[in-house]
Amino acid sequence: HAADAHRTDLMTITRFVLNEQSKYPESRGDFTILLNHIVLGCKFVCSAVNKAGLAKLIGLAGETNVQGEEQKKLDVLSNEVFVKALVSSGRTCILVSEEDEEATFVDPSKRGRYCVVFDPLDGSSNIDCGVSIGTIFGIYMMKDNHEPTLDDVLQPGKQMLAAGYCMYGSSCTLVLSTGEGVNRFTLDPSLGEFILTHPDIKIPKKGKIYSVNEGNAKNWDGPTAKYVEKCKFPKDGSSPKSLRYIGSMVADVHRTLLYGGIFLYPADKKSPSGKLRVLYEVFPMSFLMEQAGGQAFTGKQRALDLVPTKIHERSPIFLGSFDDVEDIKALYAAEG
Ligand code: AHG
Ligand code: MN
Ligand code: MN
Ligand code: MN
């Protein structure tokens, strides 16, 4: 009756994380409580995205954010939901969101030990046309029990305790790592629970897909241009790679994690630090890629070694299958 057992032995994300956390005798369930509040935010955004077209949630909010981007209604709504859920968890002390210019320092009465960096709605340009979008988050422990300062979030990505994303696509799927591998959960809407569906995901060592916005090719630097040229006109007689680019980082990274290949958002002459934000896009996705056996490179160093100096700092990023990233690292090393 293995199948029956599976049906009644529901491995919800809460139960899964409780199991993992029980390995740490000192853990008092704080992390599980924090994660539950992140999951609550994801469930809310999932439901809002699914009825965006009906609930007049399409279109602009009439504001622009610190990134100079026009905020969509769903950007603002999901940001508010996550900030409120995280503060009410009583387990956070600092929040950094793509949509807020300044970090949020939680009131001492509601303060906990965790710092959460997040992109409440990733892929906003795809909202109105119904293409997959997502939420990305990373979790740090504050450095020590002093008064929280920005230094507690300006930590290299390798200090993250956990990272994950939720993708609002044909199904709502949450991919999470707490430092012991990558696990994928799927929302069962009839239960309102995320159920473990793909334990211990590993990215293929090499892939046949490259993912980049070719529209920026005019401004690429040498190594990136050379790498993309190699993808399209391989010298060793192998077949060219396929190009897949969705324009939502969550969707492009999710496909890369499952199918293998490489995702690139390089620097270019217009944006010398690239476009993607270090704390809540580059670090969480790099953390997941390493945990899945892949790697993540900035063009200069291992992405997770980067020490950010500003909360909305950007970095070029090349991440995905281990061997594919090795290839581009060799080209940057050769350029010296
Ligand atoms: P966001 O919607 O959170 O601002 O992020 C958009 C990002 C990322 O999702 C995606 O990889 C990238 O922008 C696409 O940028 P281009 O349109 O320049 O390719
Ligand atoms: Mn944005
Ligand atoms: Mn984003
Ligand atoms: Mn966003």
Q: What is the ipTM of this complex?
A: 0.99
- The answer to whether the beta carbons of residues 213 and 247 sit under 8 Å apart is yes
User: What is the distance, to the nearest Å, from the Cα of residue 51 to the centroid of all Cα atoms in its chain?
Assistant: 23
Mean pLDDT of 10-34: 88
Res 70: pLDDT: 81
Res 69: pLDDT: 82
Q: How many distinct helices (H) and strands (E) make up the chain?
A: 8, 15
**Would you say the CB of residue 275 lies under 6 angstroms from ligand 1?**
yes
15: which 2 tokens? 């139960």
Q: Which of 276, 279, 280 for mutating ligand 1's site (highest number of atoms within 8 Å of CB)?
A: 276
Banded pLDDT at 134 (limits 50, 70, 90): very high
> What is the overall mean pLDDT for the chain?
93
Distance CA 235, CA 230 (A): 7
Instruction: Please give the full DSSP string across 67-102, using - where no structure is assigned.
Output: TSPEEEHHHHHHHHHHHHHHHHTT-EEEEEETT-SS
Instruction: Tell me the CA–centroid distance for residue 76 and ligand 2, in Å.
Output: 10
Res 157: pLDDT: 98
Mention every residue, 6+ apart, whose C-beta is less than 8 A from residue 315: 273, 274, 276, 278, 282, 298, 303, 306
Mention every residue, 6+ apart, whose C-beta is less than 8 A from residue 169: 132, 251
Res 6: pLDDT: 56
Ligand 1, atom 2, residue with closest C-alpha:
123
Whether the per-residue pLDDT at 4 is higher than 80: the answer is no
Distance CA 69, CA 61 (A): 11
Banded pLDDT at 2 (limits 50, 70, 90): low
**Would you say the CB of residue 119 lies under 6 angstroms from ligand 1?**
yes
**Would you say the CB of residue 217 lies under 6 angstroms from ligand 1?**
no
Residue with tokens 């969509």, as numbered in its chain: 72
Strands (DSSP E) contained in 129-266 are: 133-141, 162-168, 172-177, 183-188, 193-198, 209-211, 242-243, 262-265
Mention every residue, 6+ apart, whose C-beta is less than 8 A from residue 23: none
Whether the per-residue pLDDT at 220 is higher than 80: the answer is yes
Neighbours of 115 (CB within 10 A): 27
Res 62: pLDDT: 77
Res 8: pLDDT: 79
Banded pLDDT at 97 (limits 50, 70, 90): very high
Whether the per-residue pLDDT at 1 is higher than 60: the answer is no
274-302: pLDDT as tens digits: 999 999 999 999 999 999 999 999 999 99
Mean pLDDT of 28-40: 94
43-61: pLDDT as tens digits: 999 999 888 776 667 677 7
Backbone angles phi, psi at 185, to 5 degrees: -120, 145
Instruction: Tell me the CA–centroid distance for residue 130 and ligand 4, in Å.
Output: 15
167-213: pLDDT as tens digits: 999 899 999 999 999 999 999 999 999 999 999 999 999 999 999 99
For the chain, percent of residues with pLDDT exceeding 70: 96
The closest of 96, 295, 144, 321 to 305, measured between CA atoms, is 295
Whether the per-residue pLDDT at 63 is higher than 90: the answer is no
226-278: pLDDT as tens digits: 999 999 999 999 999 999 999 999 999 999 999 999 999 999 888 999 999 99
